[in-house]
Structure 1
């Protein structure tokens, strides 16, 4: 004998199925996009929502079925039946919840989830306690199982297709309704397959207590379902409106950050449609931060962010990557319009900033990469734009550059040098060359400069101008300088002991050595190991080192001068203006940069050279001219009072063997070659 259905409860079961499907659609997207522990949390939540939602719908549907007899339910079996749906959902999501899933994965996942739903349904039916037996129509039973399998496959496929849709979507709602119809169809087909036979000829009406029990169970299932759905929706709301803002927004400028950039490429960027990345870096921002303070720098960054917002259009997106780095992604594909955007950005950045009582001017450098020409993924496009930006800086700043293959080759070479630089010391690929300093007044050798050279096994001789900046960026320059000091001191001690010469040898210092605070330790270690007197060692610093942190630089230089070590200021006149603190620096020698010497036939350059010599004389410093190559240059320098010179006229940088031969020749002839 068959019963009848309560229409209102049937409608409630359908609503529960739709709500569970919609919630599961939202949570499935979280599973796909998450990693690590977060993925596990969303996987468990999605499985619970889907499994319990389907279980609740089925159980409410069974409560809607009136058989005109006493019906009760075995509570342990009823609760145990929910595990089939939950575990099946967990396994199915685990198999298919990834960025790409093949058809066979959907098939396996659908089979597992479908079997779980069928198991849950018929285990729930077995929990019914009636004065009779339940049998099933085989055809309808198979039909209900088939509907469960098809519905499960469709659910997983729809979850995957809509995984990137985070906000409300009409398509998502339609899919949830279709899923609700499929789930209800499976349930009521299964109920139609059930055939009830009773013991005896008398059917008993349900008592008031039975009806109260069913009402209690119905209420409990409904409440638990709505609580689970409310918790899942609340978690999604909290994540979207609170956690996402914290995770994906830059707290200083309220712009999207690096994490949001990664999400943007995963969800919204289509390389095939074209577009461009504009990588923006402020010029000399570190100087502003160091001189005026980080709070002032933060205020400046906020104003820069506001100006960048004003420059971009509705189709463009602005990110702050960190520090003074910003990124604009535009869907514009026309090269001229991209250039116009870049020019507009540069113009906006360089306008005056009024912060507190300061009027400030800064500029920016922009590197541009274009999709799909320079890449189709975030990493390659960002790397190309970053390379182009550094090219713009090297070209003089306050300009933009498009990435090209030459930059790519340069970047690849730089990466190769950086990799090989780390093992070059171990393989003894570095060589130290020595260039003499000659006193034209006494016609004798008065010193030498140690110059580092790198003989790369594949690339040949690599210029110091190419590998020294890489060594500084990577920090390798610090152990490299320690090695140079040790080698130079040991070699100079050997020349002293052999009575070949008794002069000081200068070693170029890097700002990274001063920043490390290891200068004194490195110098004392080298002098102690070699036994060389401190007066035979000279340290060459540049103006940029002297001006980076004047107080600390002076302190460190005083400590090494107490050892008798001399200090020279290299490339004087080409870096930051250090005239204001030159008298405070513990410096013994000023070196005139070779850029002035090459043009010493020009009146303005002659005036500069004469002033440098006068400054050195008034401060009781020696002066050395670099890059001397002609007799005319020698005559001019001598006429201005400079007698110590260094350059190809007196000798190129030479190896230890060549220097020894050069020394023997000059000692015998007293005339440099």
Structure 2
């Protein structure tokens, strides 16, 4: 059975660069949502937003954006829509499970590797389910060593992502962490794709499913709306935090040696404390 040629960069570097860019943006949003989850009195909403940003945009959308550059000897390729959507649900749910485990207050030495393993294996399941959703007149096999390596990369990348979500604070560190996460996610994807071996399949008159472009166009519209919504929500939260920090700084500047001026009753009332008057 003749092995068919696989092309992963059918559109040059456009698809991998775009895929990395989307993974980076999703990682930045996911990390910022995780930061707000740690300080919020109702963290579940922020954790769900982080799971959507990381599992949905940084991982799932990255996968199918990269797949636009995939071709097999001019064989028509289609995708099963229900299985493709199921792979998106898996990506988001496993990230949410991992986040819930590591933010649950347990021993990090236990919860981090446990959550990372569940999340990483779930991400790998998303990838291979997404590949299984592919419909074409071909037979797909995988090199066991490279497939196993892709699982290892997925677990390590997921563990690193969860660690970043626990420890990253500032914007510069968030950007640096998102760059690492984007490289790791793309590395896992292309390692798994390198494990593929494709042969001619049974001839059929028709292959069911939608084309990659038909799949991606509504996907881009949906994800763009979700990302725009997350950017607005995160931006408003960042502005609120900045305002609180500015108020705290002003309060500190008005305090001298632990004594607050009595000429500022508004600040005195906000402090909730009875400060002694300064001598006239």
Instruction: Determine if contact 1:2/1:196 at 8 Å carries over to the other structure.
Output: yes
Instruction: Determine if contact 1:131/1:198 at 8 Å carries over to the other structure.
Output: yes
* Alignment CA distance shift 1:219-1:103 (3 Å): same
- String of CA shifts for 1:391-439, please: whole Å, max 9, x gaps: x6xxxx645xxxxxxxxxxxxxxxxxxxxxxxxxxxxxxxxxxxxxxxx
- Of the three residues 88, 93, 101, the one matched with 1:87 is 93
Q: Distance in 2 between matches of 1:99 and 1:33?
A: 14
Q: Distance in 2 between matches of 1:115 and 1:147?
A: 10
Aligned residues: 269
SS across alignment from 2:238: helix
Partner of 1:237: 235
Q: Distance in 1 between matches of 2:55 and 2:62?
A: 10
The Cα shift of 1:244 comes to 4.8
SS across alignment from 1:322: helix
TM-score normalised by L of structure 2: 0.83
SS across alignment from 2:247: coil
Instruction: Determine if contact 1:280/1:326 at 8 Å carries over to the other structure.
Output: no
- String of CA shifts for 1:342-369, please: whole Å, max 9, x gaps: xxxxxxxxxxxxxxxxxxxxxxxxxxxx
How is 1:395-406 mapped onto 2 (pairs within 5 angstroms)? 398=278
**Higher helix fraction: Structure 1 or Structure 2?**
2
Partner of 1:431: none
Partner of 2:223: 225
Partner of 1:278: 258
How is 1:327-366 mapped onto 2 (pairs within 5 angstroms)? none
The Cα shift of 1:156 comes to 1.0
* Alignment CA distance shift 1:214-1:281 (3 Å): same
Q: Which of 1 and 2 has greater Rg?
A: 1
Instruction: Determine if contact 2:139/2:199 at 8 Å carries over to the other structure.
Output: yes
Partner of 1:57: 62
SS across alignment from 1:196: strand
Instruction: Determine if contact 2:123/2:154 at 8 Å carries over to the other structure.
Output: yes
- String of CA shifts for 1:147-192, please: whole Å, max 9, x gaps: 0000011111112221x32xxx333222211111110010011111
Instruction: Determine if contact 2:77/2:211 at 8 Å carries over to the other structure.
Output: no
How is 1:10-89 mapped onto 2 (pairs within 5 angstroms)? 10-36=16-42, 39-53=43-57, 54-67=59-72, 68-89=74-95
The Cα shift of 1:245 comes to 7.4
Instruction: Determine if contact 2:150/2:188 at 8 Å carries over to the other structure.
Output: yes
Which runs of 5 or more residues in structure 2 are unaligned? none
Instruction: Determine if contact 2:97/2:115 at 8 Å carries over to the other structure.
Output: yes
Instruction: Determine if contact 2:154/2:185 at 8 Å carries over to the other structure.
Output: yes
Q: Distance in 1 between matches of 2:213 and 2:104?
A: 41
Q: Distance in 1 between matches of 2:90 and 2:261?
A: 56
Q: Over aligned residue pairs, what C-alpha RMSD do you find?
A: 3.4
Partner of 2:214: 216
* Alignment CA distance shift 1:142-1:277 (3 Å): farther
Flag as ranges the 4+ runs of structure 1 deviating above 6 A: none
TM-score normalised by L of structure 1: 0.37
Partner of 1:188: 190
Instruction: Determine if contact 1:281/1:326 at 8 Å carries over to the other structure.
Output: no
The answer on 1:2 being equivalent to 2:8 is no
The Cα shift of 1:100 comes to 8.2
The Cα shift of 1:119 comes to 0.8
Q: Distance in 2 between matches of 1:31 and 1:87?
A: 17
How is 1:610-629 mapped onto 2 (pairs within 5 angstroms)? none
Partner of 1:322: 269
Q: Distance in 1 between matches of 2:47 and 2:188?
A: 25
Partner of 1:143: 149
* Alignment CA distance shift 1:123-1:62 (3 Å): same
Q: Distance in 1 between matches of 2:29 and 2:135?
A: 33
* Alignment CA distance shift 1:186-1:78 (3 Å): same
Which runs of 5 or more residues in structure 1 are unaligned? 250-254, 265-275, 283-299, 306-319, 328-385, 400-673
The answer on 1:256 being equivalent to 2:261 is no
* Alignment CA distance shift 1:238-1:197 (3 Å): same
Partner of 2:114: 108
Q: Distance in 1 between matches of 2:241 and 2:27?
A: 24
* Alignment CA distance shift 1:244-1:196 (3 Å): same
The Cα shift of 1:326 comes to 7.8
SS across alignment from 1:70: coil
SS across alignment from 2:5: coil
